[in-house]
Structure formats: C-alpha cells, structure tokens
Amino acid sequence: MAALDLANWMKYLEPSEYVINSYIPCSHDASAYPYEGGENAAHDLVGSICQSGDYTAQLLAGSRYFDMRITRLGDTLVMKHSIITFQPFETVLNQIKRFADSHKSEFFFLDLDFSHQTAIAADVLAMLIKVLGDGKEDAFATAHVGSDGKSYNKELTWAKLKQDGKQYIIIWGEDDTDDGETKHYESGKLWAPQAADIRDNWADDYPNKSPQEIVDWLDKALSIWKKEKLWITQLIDTPKRSYLPGHHPSDCDSRAAPIFNAWLTDKFKPGDKLGIVKRDFVNEEWNQSGIYHVIRLNKFAQSPDIPLGPEIDYLNTIRLRTLDGRYLAVDTTPPGNTNLSLVTLVDQPSDNTRFLIRERRKDSAWTWPFSGNLDADSCGANGNVRLAHVDSSIGNDTVLSCAKNSGGFLYWGVSWNGADDWETFLPYNPANTGSKNVIHHGSIIVFRTLWHMYWKVDLDENYYTRVYASAGPIGDATQFVVEKA
C-alpha cells in the first residue's frame, strides 16, 4: 500500500487537462481552527471550530482551495467565522507563502469572502501584495480570467497555469446584501476577479437536512452544472445549533462522514461532474478516504503515489509521518506539563523526529514485518517493536511508553531495562490486517498496544496535539508512513 503524495499531488497532474474538469479538495472555513494564544475553549464552546489543523496542516492534507473569511478587528485584518474572530490575515497568508515557496508545483485557490460594509478592500489587496507578492502584483495568476477581463476562462489548463508561472489564484468575494439582494463589488485588479463570475457555490437549506438529504440535493445540483464556471460541491453537514453539545461542527461532520465518503467513493469516477469539494476537518481520519478519492479522480501524467523504498530492518532509524504530512516527535517541554516528555506531531522532519526500532531482545537485526495477527498480545509476537527516541544529544536506550492507566497517552522516558508490555507495540497494514510482509520505506502502518488499543492522534483539553491509545476500531487509528531516516 503506497502513500499518496499529498504535499505535492499537483506535480503529477496531466498538463493538458482543463482545470474545470479537475477535482480539488477545499477547506470550508479554513481559518476556523484552534491555535496557540487563541480563545480555543470559547471558540469550541460556541461551535465555531471547523478545522483541526492550521493552513500548513490543511495543505499537507491535500487541500488546495480555501474558504477565507476576513474582517477588521481594531486596526488589524483578521479571519472570522460568523462573528467569531481568529488569527490575523497576515499570519495565515504567511503560512500559505511558506508552503508555496517550498512546493513550487502546487497552486493555491484563495476564495476571499468579506463584507463591502467593512471597507477593507484596499487593505486586503495591500496585504496580499505585501505577503504573497513580496510587494509586487505580478505574483498572482491571471490565466483563470477570460478575455473579457471578468469571466472564468473555460479553456484554462494546468499547462497554461504553469506557463503563467503564478501559484496564487485569487477569487474576490466582496459582497453586500440589501433588502435580501446580494450586490457584488469588483476589486479593480485583473488578478482578483469577482467570485460570482468565477465559481458557483450553491447550498440548500443544509441545517435542516440530513447527510443523506444533502447528497441527494447535490446529485440534482450537479446534474445542472453547465461548466461555465468553477463549481464548489459543498459537502458540509451544517449544524442547526452549533453551540449545543453534540451539535458542534466536529460532531456533525464525524457523524456525516460515512455517508459523505461513501457518496464520493461509490458514486464518482474520473470524468464525472464533481469539481471542487468543500469539507470541514480535512485533517481528520474520518475524512481521509473521501479526500484521497477526490484527488485520485484527477487525470495524472504520472502516479501521485510515493513508491515503496528499501526494506526496514530492526535497528534501523525511522521517521513516522502522518498522511497529512506531520511527523511523530518527542516534546521534552510540553505546555502545561513539566514532568513528562510527551509524544506529539511537528510539521517538519528534524533530529527530534528520529526513532530507533528494536525488537524486545534488542540485538536483533532482521527485517521488520507487519504483525498479521489481530489477536497478538505478547512481547514475542511477530513484528513487535519498541521505539527508542534518538537525536544528536540523547542516547538510544530510552523508549516510548503508553500511560495505560492514566488516559492512554504516549510519552518518552522508560529505560530499556525497564521496558515491558507498555513499551511494546505491534504494526499492522491497515489495508490488509492479515499481512505479514516486510515493512518498507513508504509503507503505511498503524500501531497497536498489546492490550488491543490503536495509536490515535488527537488534541487534549488544552488543544495540544498528543498521541493516545484509543479503544476505537483499527479504521479510526492514525496511519503513518514509514520513512527510513
């Protein structure tokens, strides 16, 4: 099972394919995520959180189209969801810029949404030019604009976008409502065309529809799409009362995910009408199968999968990368905890993300296999492994452990001599749990404790990313790509 190259998937697209015939994952309310220094508990309480990762994390998860809502707070442009404000506009643009600079094959569709009454248009343009353009306007694509300087260019291909040489596609959603009628305003810039001329973003009475009723309505809506503009398939289970426990966006989205994912994977094949697929919580495991399917629907010049590399042996040093591009790491000074070194995720590989894999006898040097046995529960089981954290200043005799009786979180700090069941983990192939094949560089795996609980990445009560042993099914476990370090 090879991993999809989510961080670079546009690199493999067929250049001659029309953009309007392509399939692009989109982040709904992309800025509504918890962040350090934010009022995260309050935001969660009122049901305003729609993503679990920041822009970098969403980009690593494959999202390339962003629903970005902007307002002003004092003298600062900030992101918003309804009346709730989030990080500064400049902050999120810098995240996108850093990713774009290191991923030159990728394109970024920024769908800007703000009220004309806020009188921020000039400041929004200035901030785009300052951050994304490094002070210049020629950083922005114009190939998506038709010859009339206004409408969508239906002849746009990926080759033409690449020839244009600009990574940022701006879609300008400056609007106002008067007596129930929406009025659209132009930006005055060719590279920032009015959203209403570029894309359709239809939605029905979603808060009063079930997930099945939403996809039934989308079937009808897609059937009348004439491909005059880009199309956004809004696959969102909008809460009617998002402030109520059990009705927060994450609750609704996780419950709707099986229906939404099945609709995508069972119904759509390459060439079908679907367009841009807007989703909440693009970093969550419950949405991965649908998002991966959307990407794979595209016409590729070469496979977007990362091929398997060399076999992994015991005593090799590895990194474990989540499917959204983050790396397993040890935080020796986690927030709110001064006694334990906790297992977390970071955005980039570093010295802090390397682990030496060892079998319980420590001196083993043979290849590392998948367990293949879901009933295995002993230290001597096939494929069992202990993970010793190594970096330039720490030895390799201290291993990861699971606090079995204290919430099941993973931490680092048990000596090899003291290691036993709680420090022993079993690897499985999530696509074939009975496989006992050798694990390779690029293999996708999930880990399980000896007491039948799977590793799962989640946020703690302080919105800090941790890894836990979860009682959920293997399908809910966090999947990792093995990299030989």
Q: pLDDT by residue (tens digit) across 155-168? A: 999 999 999 889 99
Q: Which two tokens stand for residue 465?
A: 């990313």
Beta bridge partners of 346: 327
Mean pLDDT of all residues in 225-246: 86
- What is the amino acid identity at position 276? I
Say if CB 259 and CB 215 are below 8 A apart. Answer: yes
**pLDDT tier, 394 (very low <50, low <70, confident <90, very high otherwise):** low
DSSP SS3 for 161: helix
pLDDT recorded at residue 204: 86
Q: Flag the least confident range among 72-76, 263-267, 366-370.
A: 366-370
Which residues lie below 8 Å from residue 221, measured CB to CB, with a gap of 6+? 202, 204
**pLDDT tier, 2 (very low <50, low <70, confident <90, very high otherwise):** low
Higher-scoring residue by pLDDT: 482, 431: 482
pLDDT one-digit tens code per residue, 342-362: 999 999 999 889 999 988 776
- What is the amino acid identity at position 182? T
Q: Flag the least confident range among 46-60, 89-103, 105-119, 269-283.
A: 46-60
Q: Which domains does the chain have, with CATH numbers?
A: 3-303 (3.20.20.190), 317-484 (2.80.10.50)
**pLDDT tier, 428 (very low <50, low <70, confident <90, very high otherwise):** very high
pLDDT one-digit tens code per residue, 257-285: 999 999 999 999 999 999 999 999 998 87
Of the candidates 423, 467, 464, the one whose C-alpha atom is nearest the C-alpha of residue 446 is: 467
pLDDT recorded at residue 362: 65
pLDDT recorded at residue 416: 85
Mean pLDDT of all residues in 43-68: 90
> Structure pTM?
0.78
Mean pLDDT of all residues in 317-343: 88
Cα separation of 41 and 39, whole Å? Answer: 6
Average pLDDT, the chain: 91
Q: Flag the least confident range among 243-247, 278-282, 315-319.
A: 243-247
pLDDT recorded at residue 392: 60
Within 10 angstroms of residue 21's Cβ, the number of other Cβ atoms is: 17
Q: What is the DSSP letter of 201?
A: -
* C-alpha gyration radius of the chain: 23
